[in-house]
Amino acid sequence: MANNTLFQNQRNCTVQVADTTNRVGGLAYQLTAEHALAQYAITGCFNNTYYVGAQEQLDKVLELETQVSPAFLAKLAIYTREKGHMKDMPALLTALLSIEAPELLPKVFNRVIDNGRMLRNFIQIIRSGVTGRQSLGTLPKRLVQQWINQRGEAALFKDSVGNTPSLSDVIKMVRPKPANKMREAFYGYLIDKPYSAEYLPQIVKDYELFKVKPTDNLPNVDFRLLTALDLNTKHWQEIARQASWQMTRMNLNTFARHDVFKNKELVHLIAERLRDERAIKKARVFPYQLMAAYYMAVDDMPNKIMDALQDAMEIALENVPVITGKVYVLPDTSGSMTQSVTGYRPGSSSKVRCIDVAALVAAAILAKNPEAEVIPFATDIHKVKLNPRDSVLTNATRLAQLGGGGTNCAAPLIAMKKKHVNADTVVYISDNESWIDTTSRYAYSSGTAVMQQWELLKRRSPNAKMVCIDVVPNSYSQAVERADILNVGGFSDNVFNVLNSFIKGEPNSWLNEINQVEL
């Protein structure tokens, strides 16, 4: 028999040969250093994932950042915080910038370090030594001092909740110079040093008075400063009344446990807060976090609250585009997609899995594009009937129940070929760990099976475009980035903006959007 490597079928000659393998040995295409770093930054949470540990993620980021320009590093830090809503990654990139390009640090610092938790993340990362230094240095220290001095008293008091390091540790470390007697007393109070109580901010006075003599009127402080005190139902109802949107979402079960929802007026108020469009956007919530709140709600949660969560979900997904032409959505439901979307870390893993995110994206696209077809896949495709009129959560739940099996990313394209269907847009949501489709006899002398099948589809639909959404930290993809193929990572609603721009014919590189960030 003639050599298969030399004498392949010419119909595959346009497929670019795969240049790497994924973590399970399947063929894949290596992303550029910028693209790979962006993928890690927008999906990495420094927890163990299905295939890779937290330390390996960190090592990869540290390797990749040396291969990109300082300007790109700065823009990526801002992008991952402002658009990707990430926490640890933008703090790490900012810490790296303090060494790689300190002249850019002032342009990035306040945009990334936008609350107390981000400040603590930044300092913890610096002190760990992973960036090559264990002390802040002159410029970072000055920026932290300015950040503290410019922070309002109420916001700074809220920032005092949290440890490793605590705000007290930070103040002791950088020694901000107080601008007046009130700040001098406030800093002394925060670091447990002598202070003049008469000069304390009113919010601190109210809190200290409440600790000594509780009344029905709660001080307007972060509720975590109050939970160690002996609070009654009225107090908890007042906490719920004053709560921010994000705090409300995260503590619905706590409110239920403390009888907050026995007050019908509060049920209405909280429901309206949850579905408030401006509050949702300000909170920078991941759509999957609303799914988590809905799934985790206790059985006796009021129906009004549950309905409000569904309304909030629809608002959080408003960026999902209406797509012209025939759309196919291909969510990966394989076993590796059942990992937590934020990775595994004892006591802090999200209960939402990658498959839940994939199902949510698929259901959201279907809701905006009722003629779209959803083809879930694992080892092979799943046949499932979805009603576009059902809620996003209903359809997402149905899809997420399909989890398990091996990964064959080519399976849905093969199924489409058998039916001789045409397509205008194909959207994958996967972790790119395809391996079953690498068993072809031509596998190691050709492209991935996904690219082979894509070329066949392009013969039927020459103007078709494919978007591959990756929800885990990877440095490779199943499809080559080119004019008709977009590789994008993440699980914030901004992914839909990138998808929409690409489909409309705007520059197709996800990196384009990152590089457009102004410094």
As a whole number, mean pLDDT of residues 477-497 equals: 93
CA dist 326 and 423 (Å) reads 5
Structure-model confidence comparison of residues 264 and 318, the more confident one: 264
The alpha carbon dihedral of 376, 379, 380, 382 has a sign of negative
pLDDT higher than threshold 70 for residue 392:
yes
Beta pairing partners, 21 = 27
Is 210 inside any structural domain?
no
Tens of pLDDT, residue by residue over 413-468, are 999 999 999 999 999 999 999 999 885 444 556 799 999 999 999 999 999 999 99
Same domain, 305 and 432: no
As a whole number, mean pLDDT of residues 172-186 equals: 96
- Out of 182-191, 306-315, 508-517, pick the least confident: 508-517
State the pLDDT at residue 14.
76
Q: In terms of residues, how long is the chain?
A: 519
Q: What is the DSSP letter of 334?
A: S
pLDDT higher than threshold 60 for residue 339:
yes
DSSP per position, 52-90? --HHHHHHHHHHHHTTS-HHHHHHHHHHHHHTT--SHHH
As a whole number, mean pLDDT of residues 350-374 equals: 93
Tens of pLDDT, residue by residue over 493-516, are 899 999 999 999 886 689 999 999
Is 244 inside any structural domain?
yes
State the pLDDT at residue 144.
97
Yes or no: say if 310 and 393 are a contact pair by the CB < 8 Å rule.
yes
Task: Using the 3D structure, point to which of 251, 285, 316 is the last residue of a domain.
Answer: 316
pTM value is 0.92
pLDDT higher than threshold 60 for residue 10:
no
Yes or no: say if 83 and 492 are a contact pair by the CB < 8 Å rule.
yes
Q: List Cβ<8 Å contacts ≥24 apart for 52-60.
A: 52/23, 52/473, 54/343, 54/345, 57/473, 58/92, 58/130, 60/36, 60/473, 60/475
Is 211 inside any structural domain?
no
State the pLDDT at residue 8.
41
Same domain, 363 and 457: yes
Cα of first residue to Cα of last residue in the chain, in angstroms, is: 61
DSSP 3-state of 487: strand
- Out of 45-54, 144-153, 384-393, 478-487, pick the least confident: 45-54
Q: Compute the 3-state secondary structure of the chain and give helix, strand, coil in percent, each to the nearest 5.
A: 50, 10, 40
Same domain, 265 and 402: no
Residue 313 parent element (H or E): helix 303-316
Same domain, 447 and 368: yes
Yes or no: say if 468 and 479 are a contact pair by the CB < 8 Å rule.
yes
Same domain, 61 and 178: yes
Calculated CA dihedral for residues 101, 105, 107, 110, nearest 10 degrees: 160
Mean pLDDT of the chain: 91
Structure-model confidence comparison of residues 45 and 261, the more confident one: 261
Q: What is the CATH number of the domain that holds 18?
A: 3.40.50.410
Is 209 inside any structural domain?
no
Same domain, 301 and 169: no
Same domain, 160 and 39: yes
State the pLDDT at residue 508.
62
Task: Using the 3D structure, point to which of 151, 167, 202 is the last residue of a domain.
Answer: 202
State the pLDDT at residue 75.
98
Task: Using the 3D structure, point to which of 316, 350, 370 is the last residue of a domain.
Answer: 316
State the pLDDT at residue 413.
97
- 141 Cβ neighbours under 8 A, 6+ residues apart: 174
Same domain, 301 and 420: no
CA dist 106 and 86 (Å) reads 20
DSSP 3-state of 447: coil
Q: How many domains does the chain have?
A: 3
CA dist 70 and 6 (Å) reads 44
Q: Which two tokens stand for residue 244?
A: 């921010």
Is 6 inside any structural domain?
no
Structure-model confidence comparison of residues 129 and 228, the more confident one: 129
Residue 331 parent element (H or E): strand 327-331
- 150 Cβ neighbours under 8 A, 6+ residues apart: none
Is 2 inside any structural domain?
no
State what percent of residues in the chain have pLDDT above 70.
95
State the pLDDT at residue 445.
60
As a whole number, mean pLDDT of residues 125-129 equals: 94
As a whole number, mean pLDDT of residues 232-261 equals: 95
Same domain, 46 and 92: yes
Q: What is the DSSP letter of 220?
A: S
Range of the domain at 399: 13-32+320-515
Same domain, 152 and 283: no
Is 458 inside any structural domain?
yes
Burial class (CB in 10 A: 0-12, 13-18, 19+), 396: buried
Minimal CA–CA distance to 173: which of 187, 152, 183?
A: 187
Same domain, 86 and 157: yes
Yes or no: say if 93 and 508 are a contact pair by the CB < 8 Å rule.
no
Is 4 inside any structural domain?
no
State the pLDDT at residue 7.
38
Same domain, 229 and 122: no
pLDDT confidence bin for 348, thresholds 50/70/90: low
pLDDT higher than threshold 70 for residue 12:
no
pLDDT higher than threshold 70 for residue 2:
no
State the pLDDT at residue 444.
54
Tens of pLDDT, residue by residue over 73-99, are 999 999 999 999 999 999 999 999 999
Tens of pLDDT, residue by residue over 217-239, are 899 899 899 988 889 999 999 99
